[in-house]
C-alpha cells in the first residue's frame, strides 16, 4: 500500500473516480511494555466508495479494505498480526467500518501500511522512551493547483484522528494540539493539512 499519508494511501486517486467518496479515519494504538499491542481502525466511507470496493473495479485501489475478507487476507499475509474483530454498519449514504487487530511488534503495523520507511517506531532519548508516528511524508514543492483545489473542496470537513495508549504516563508530545490524559495522547489533524504538507509531518510522544 502506498504510504504517502498514513492510512490514507490512494485517496487522491479515488477523488478522480468518485468525488463524493470521502473518508473519515480514526486510529487507536495500545502498546504494552514488550512492544506488542492492539490497533483499532475506525473509518467512514461513502456508499459510492463501498460500491467501487464491492465491484472490484479494475485499476481502482481503495485506500483501506472494506470487506472482512480483504482484512483477513491482508492480515494473514503478515506473521504476528491477527484480526480480533470486524464490524461494518451500512447506512443509506455511508458505511462505518471498525476493525481490531493485535500485533506482536510494531514492525507488523509498519508492514500493514507498507512503504520502505516505518510509519511508527519506538526509541530511547536520554531517560525517555519515545514513540514517533509519521502522519504524512510530505510532497516536496506542494500539491499542484488542481489537486489542491480538489482537496480543499472535498476534504475540508474530514480529519485523521490518532489515539496512543502507552504502558506509562505520557510526559509530553511534539505537538501543542495534542490532548494528554494519563497514559493516553490524542491528536486530530485535518486531512487537508496532512495532504498539503511539503515536509514530513511527525508526531512524537514521550513517556
Query: What does the pLDDT read at residue 100?
Result: 95
Contacts (Cβ under 8 Å, ≥6 apart) of 15: 21, 150, 151, 154
Overall average pLDDT of the 28-57 stretch: 77
pLDDT top residue among 58 and 195 = 195
Query: What does the pLDDT read at residue 117?
Result: 77
pLDDT for 13 beyond 70: no
Contacts (Cβ under 8 Å, ≥6 apart) of 130: 122, 123, 124, 204, 205, 206, 207
Query: What does the pLDDT read at residue 176?
Result: 94
Check if the beta carbon of residue 173 is closer than 8 Å to that of residue 187: yes
- Give the Å distances, CA to CA, from 95 to 63, 72, 83, 165: 14, 19, 19, 27
| % of residues, the chain, pLDDT over 70 | 78
The SS3 call for residue 12 is helix
Q: What rounded mean pLDDT belongs to the chain?
A: 80
pLDDT for 27 beyond 80: yes
Overall average pLDDT of the 46-70 stretch: 58
Per domain, the residue ranges of the chain are: 11-206
Overall average pLDDT of the 61-79 stretch: 77
The SS3 call for residue 138 is coil
Overall average pLDDT of the 165-183 stretch: 97
Question: How many H-runs (helices) and E-runs (strands) does the chain carry?
Answer: 6, 11
> b/e per residue, 147-172, with b = 16+ CB within 10 A?
eeebbeebbeebbbebbbbbeeebee
pLDDT band at 166 (very low <50, low <70, confident <90, very high): very high
Query: What does the pLDDT read at residue 38?
Result: 97
The pLDDT tens digits for 126-138 are 999 999 999 888 8
Q: To which residue does cell 512524537 refer?
A: 204
The pLDDT tens digits for 84-119 are 999 989 888 788 889 999 999 999 998 887 767 788
pTM of the model: 0.79
Amino acid at each position: 500500500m502506498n504510504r504517502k499519508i498514513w492510512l490514507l494511501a490512494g485517496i487522491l486517486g479515488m477523488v478522480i473516480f468518485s468525488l463524493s467518496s470521502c473518508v473519515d479515519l480514526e486510529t487507536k494504538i495500545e502498546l504494552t511494555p514488550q512492544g506488542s499491542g492492539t490497533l483499532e481502525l475506525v473509518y467512514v466511507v461513502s456508499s459510492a466508495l463501498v460500491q467501487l470496493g464491492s465491484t472490484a473495479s479494475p485499476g481502482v485501489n481503495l485506500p483501506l479494505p472494506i470487506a472482512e475478507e480483504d482484512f483477513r487476507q491482508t492480515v494473514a499475509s503478515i506473521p504476528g498480526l491477527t484480526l480480533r474483530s470486524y464490524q461494518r454498519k451500512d447506512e443509506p449514504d455511508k458505511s462505518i467500518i471498525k476493525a481490531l487487530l493485535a500485533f506482536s511488534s510494531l514492525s507488523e503495523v509498519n508492514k500493514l501500511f507498507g512503504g520502505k520507511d516505518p510509519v511508527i517506531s519506538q526509541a530511547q532519548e536520554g531517560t525517555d522512551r519515545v514513540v514517533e508516528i509519521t502522519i504524512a511524508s510530505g510532497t516536496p514543492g506542494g500539491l499542484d493547483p488542481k489537486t489542491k483545489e480538489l482537496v480543499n473542496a472535498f476534504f475540508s470537513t474530514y480529519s485523521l484522528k490518532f489515539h496512543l495508549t502507552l504502558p506509562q504516563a505520557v510526559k509530553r508530545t511534539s505537538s501543542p494540539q495534542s490532548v494528554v490524559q494519563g497514559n493516553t495522547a490524542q491528536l486530530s489533524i485535518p486531512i487537508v493539512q496532512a495532504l498539503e504538507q511539503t515536509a514530513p509531518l511527525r508526531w512524537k510522544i514521550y513517556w
